[in-house]
Structure 1
Amino acid sequence: MSAPSASASIEISAPPETVYDLVADLTDMSAWNTECERVRWVGPVREPRPGARFRGINRNGWRRWSTICTITAADPGRTFAYHVRAGGVFDVAIWRFDITETESGCRVEQRTWDRRGLFMRVVGDLATGVADRASHNAVNMRRTLESLKAVAERP
């Protein structure tokens, strides 16, 4: 795969399985994800496994939008990834969390690949109010990982 359009990583003092469970618990993603407002399962599969689909409701200030996502990787304690589409049709992005065990817990790397074509870049910029998606994602990813760390390390 090509280089990600944005990435961030953090050390978390919690077991990889604990962090994976937080990342893969999509219905509670808004508790630690900066741009996500809520998630709802789409279709009959309602667990984090490849092929399962969910709708992400996102926000940036007063702007709100939704996407349909398909889980592409779900390896407990290691990897969680999903492919994002607008309207379930237009490619938007691929998001991936890689979790690596360390002596004190784990290292989490979050990466994204922008997959928007010209049409979706223009529409997406207008809908989300974000002209420079890569820079915006990099800032939000750092915030998201800090929030994930706070939740994972909570006693």
Structure 2
Amino acid sequence: MPDLSESITVSAPATSVYGLVSDLPRMGEWSPECTRVTWSPRTPGPAAGARFVGHNRVGAIRWFTFGRVVDAVPGERFSFSINFGPVPISLWTYDFASLDAGCCQVTESWTDHRPAALRALFRPLFGDRTRRNDRGIKVTLERLKAAAEASGGR
């Protein structure tokens, strides 16, 4: 069960919004923390099993993470796991539900997989991760909605 989950209604088809989310190199356009994503040349995405590097920033602090696509079902679900080296960090999931009139509901969820010791270690640097991600999810969904509706989902 996710630690956080938020939904938004978007005036664009689920398959179109899925296309935006699954184009991970564009994630920096929506996320307030992720600045860019690069696919691994060995396993380019957005297919299940594809690997990528995420570049992130909070204030002056910058770091990178390693990700792997877990689910890639067009128009339904896109999820990826995040690790920092060998340490599991989180699971991010986007679920898409088609609604009437070419609209969809997008639900973004975050599941914290960090070991307790890592949570304690990074809290002084990043603050309350749950609170930060709660705000981040809302910003990401609002920006995604604006982009999808401005472009008709393309």
TM-score range, shorter chain: over 0.9
Alignment partner, residue 113 of structure 1: 111
Deviation per CA, 1:57-102: give whole Å up to 9, x if none: 0111111111100100000011000011002x10100000000001
**1: CA distance, partners of 2:90 / 2:28:** 18
Aligned-residue Cα RMSD (Å) equals 1.2
Alignment partner, residue 40 of structure 2: 42
**2: CA distance, partners of 1:47 / 1:10:** 25
Contact 1:71 1:81 in 2 (8 A): yes
What SS class does the counterpart of residue 97 from structure 1 fall into? strand
Contact 1:92 1:120 in 2 (8 A): no
**2: CA distance, partners of 1:12 / 1:142:** 13
Displacement over 2 Å in runs of 4+: 122-126
* TM-score, normalised relative to structure 1: 0.92
Residue in structure 1 matching 2:93, options 91, 96, 99: 96
What SS class does the counterpart of residue 145 from structure 1 fall into? helix
Contact 1:6 1:135 in 2 (8 A): no
Residue in structure 2 matching 1:144, options 126, 140, 154: 140
Residue in structure 2 matching 1:80, options 78, 100, 121: 78
More helix, by proportion: 2
* TM-score, normalised relative to structure 2: 0.92
**2: CA distance, partners of 1:11 / 1:85:** 30
The Cα of 1:45 is off from its aligned counterpart by: 1.5
What SS class does the counterpart of residue 150 from structure 2 fall into? coil
Unaligned runs of 5+ in 1: none
Aligned length: 150
What SS class does the counterpart of residue 126 from structure 2 fall into? coil
